[in-house]
Amino acid sequence: MNRKDRIEAALRAAFSPQHLDVRDDSARHAGHAHRMTQPGHAGDGGQTHYSVAMTSAAFTGMNRVARSRAVHEALAAEFADGLHALGLTLAAPGE
């Protein structure tokens, strides 16, 4: 299972989203070095930069920072395994 599939599975399990779109943006960061240990996309297959758009009832009553923290917590294993950047667009239904 690749990182995109793992991210989708983790977010579906944690948030039961009505809408979920996960996009691998790693190619846009080709050659960028991160924290001196992580290549951006230097022939390693990338899988370091992603964007997520998600709508979930779980976000109802949560502010933007709390939503972001919840997603980062759900993806902690991916961050520990080389996920470097995550762009988030998070909403509750009706927003």
pLDDT at 1: 84
CATH assignment at residue 65: 3.30.300.90
What is the pLDDT at residue 45? Answer: 54
This prediction has a pTM of 0.81
From the number of C-beta atoms within 10 Å of its C-beta (0-12, 13-18, 19+), residue 82 rates as middle
Confidence at residue 24, expressed as pLDDT on a 0 to 100 scale? 93
Confidence (pLDDT) at 41: 39
Tell me the residue range of the domain where 15 lies: 3-91
pLDDT of residue 43: 42
**Nearest CA-CA partner of 39 in 84, 86, 94:** 84
Total domains present in the chain: 1
Q: At a CB cut-off of 8 Å and minimum separation 6, what does 66 contact?
A: none
Summarize pLDDT for 37-88 with one digit per residue, the tens. 444 434 445 688 999 999 999 999 999 999 999 999 999 999 999 898 999 9
